[in-house]
Structure 1
Amino acid sequence: MEFTSADGERKYAALVRAAVETVVGLDFDGTLAPIVEDPAEAHIHPDAGAVLSALAEQVRAVAVVTGRPARQALDLGGLEQVGNAIGDAGKELYLFGQYGNERWTSTNRRIVSPRPPAGLASFTAELPRLLRRHDAADAHVEEKGLAVAVHTRRLPEPDRAFEELLPVLEERAARYDLVVEPGRRVIEVRSPGMDKGVVVRTLAGELEAGGFAFVGDDLGDVGAFEAVAALSADGLPTLLVCSASEEESALLELADLLVDGPDGVMDLLRQLTSDAASLRA
């Protein structure tokens, strides 16, 4: 763990003191699970179930907030079983899929989801032609139901392809009143009006949070970081944690604390759990 400043250490200490009222939000890919070539193989860190269950005993709630479809995250993360363990402790696990468009909780074990956005089917039908035109026909296209994602990771020059495709897909998405969410070598197209920042604000209000921590790793988490920063400006104890990588640095300047990928996230959550329990002992 590496604090970005002395202020980061102060914020961590304040969050520990407010742990019982704190909501801890976590991204999935790059945070709880490693980034891998095939998104369908991104299984959660093997220690995550036990770590999240122990953490839940010390805080108001734990929430996983991901761009993945909720069902996929539940399966790859074994989160239904984690939710059982958290429920046994009298707490609740929240899962928000597709940037908050889908919601599942360990109490109401049903995924609540809207209809797919108008225009998404037409946009998806155009994708193969757009990708061929920009020498990216082999990009992996992931249809998510409420969104479609183009992964450049498998291409010979993934970063060049990402930079070239981003403005092209932004322009075409706008024609269908869709928005683009860039991430680590992935460009997602979905409906507007929902992002991880909305999720943070919703949870903070619903749960009357007295503190908020968020752990993320890429551009899709910027909205959550900004929403947590706004809570901090209103006087809440907060902590922003970047699960750092060589591929993505968008969160580095916003973070209070840097950790080394999912292994580092597990170490941080163990430390937070231990410090909060010691304070209450």
Structure 2
Amino acid sequence: MDLLPTPATRAGRDGLAALLAKPRTAVIGLDFDGTLAPIVADPEQARAHPGAVPALAALAPRVASVAVVTGRPAEVAVRHGGFADVPGLEHLVVLGHYGAERWQAATGELTAPPPHPGVAAVRAELPGLLDRAGAGQGTWIEEKGRAVAVHTRRAQDPQAAFDALRGPLTDLATRHGLIVEPGRLVLELRPPGMDKGVALLDHVRATGAGAVLYAGDDLGDLPAFAAVGKLRSDGVPGLLVCSGSTEVTELAERADLVVNGPEGVVGLLRGLAARLS
């Protein structure tokens, strides 16, 4: 049986205690890549940890909601996570594209706004920009529907390629009304106005949650961490969990609890389900 670890901070311990005391009012928020799914060189090959769906299916019926908050398109996260048609996951939602899309497990319904026109313009210009920057070798473009991302993980010097491209990609995004979201050796060009913090805050408030847990691993999760801080200031206890990474340290420094990657997150979810059963 997975044991529940003890958060390192008083606020984290209070958040965990509130979740355990009144689970039916709790929201569990989770990033996908690096949190439920191990990071891989090709994002198309990313799949949820084998224990993730069973752990979520055991936990979800005992809480108000489980929300997977991801920069991926919602339907991609559903497919790669294996979340569709799973008994016990009726309380699960996937907030894709940083909350612009919403998929509900209970109905299988996906709702989404029209795409931002700047994404198509950026998509057309990206190959030429990468060639001019001399970053073509090992650098590649991921099509994300409502966004587009440039990965440098396969480059000869991934960090140097990332650093060299950040400025030109920011200029390109700005010209077309987009923003750049940096991550673990990836730069995503996407519409402004939504982030994981906005998505999480909206979902928690709509749910009327009395406690919240959020787990993430990357820079894009910092707004969600800030949202939990805002909720705490409003009287809603919260627990911040970092899915440990040596590539990104900012989350670990702000987290109440650091676990060992997706395996550690799955162990935490199983421990919560066991305590609440």
User: TM-score range, shorter-chain basis?
Assistant: over 0.9
CA distance in 2, matches of 1:265, 1:236: 22
Counterpart residue number, 1:13: 17
Counterpart residue number, 2:8: 4
Q: Is the 8 A contact 2:61 2:88 kept in 1?
A: no
CA distance in 2, matches of 1:186, 1:48: 24
**Secondary structure of the corresponding residue to residue 49 of structure 1:** helix
Counterpart residue number, 2:187: 187
Deviation at 1:110, TM superposition (A): 2.1
Counterpart residue number, 2:232: 232
Counterpart residue number, 1:242: 242
Deviation at 1:6, TM superposition (A): 4.8
**Secondary structure of the corresponding residue to residue 145 of structure 2:** coil
Counterpart residue number, 1:32: 36
Q: Is the 8 A contact 1:2 1:259 kept in 2?
A: no
Q: Confirm whether residue 113 of structure 1 aligns to residue 138 of structure 2.
A: no
Counterpart residue number, 2:206: 206
Post-superposition CA distance 1:75-94 (Å, at most 9, x none): 11111033x4323xxxx110
Counterpart residue number, 2:94: 95
Q: CA RMSD in A?
A: 1.5
Q: What letter is aligned with 2:26?
A: T
Q: Is the 8 A contact 1:252 1:258 kept in 2?
A: yes
Q: Confirm whether residue 136 of structure 1 aligns to residue 135 of structure 2.
A: yes
Post-superposition CA distance 1:113-170 (Å, at most 9, x none): 1222122211111111211222211311011110000011110111111122112211
CA distance in 1, matches of 2:77, 2:178: 23
**Distance change (3 Å), C-alpha of 1:41 and 1:252:** same
Q: What letter is aligned with 2:89?
A: I
**Secondary structure of the corresponding residue to residue 275 of structure 1:** helix
Q: Is the 8 A contact 2:83 2:89 kept in 1?
A: no
Q: Confirm whether residue 219 of structure 1 aligns to residue 219 of structure 2.
A: yes
CA distance in 2, matches of 1:81, 1:45: 18
Q: Is the 8 A contact 1:17 1:276 kept in 2?
A: no
**Secondary structure of the corresponding residue to residue 187 of structure 1:** strand
Counterpart residue number, 2:172: 172
Unaligned runs of 5+ in 1: none
1:30-109 pair list within 5 angstroms: 30-82=34-86, 84-87=87-90, 92-109=91-108
Identity of aligned residues (%): 49
**Secondary structure of the corresponding residue to residue 263 of structure 1:** helix
CA distance in 2, matches of 1:29, 1:93: 17
Q: What letter is aligned with 1:219?
A: L
**Distance change (3 Å), C-alpha of 1:77 and 1:178:** same
CA distance in 1, matches of 2:67, 2:11: 25
Q: Confirm whether residue 125 of structure 1 aligns to residue 124 of structure 2.
A: yes
Could you tell me the TM-score, scaled by structure 1's length?
A: 0.92
Unaligned runs of 5+ in 2: none
Post-superposition CA distance 1:208-236 (Å, at most 9, x none): 01111101000111111111110011111
Deviation at 1:5, TM superposition (A): 3.4
- Which deviates more, 7-16 or 254-263? 7-16
Give the aligned length: 272
CA distance in 2, matches of 1:255, 1:276: 23
Q: What letter is aligned with 1:29?
A: D
Q: Confirm whether residue 161 of structure 1 aligns to residue 161 of structure 2.
A: yes
Deviation at 1:58, TM superposition (A): 1.9
CA distance in 2, matches of 1:8, 1:100: 25
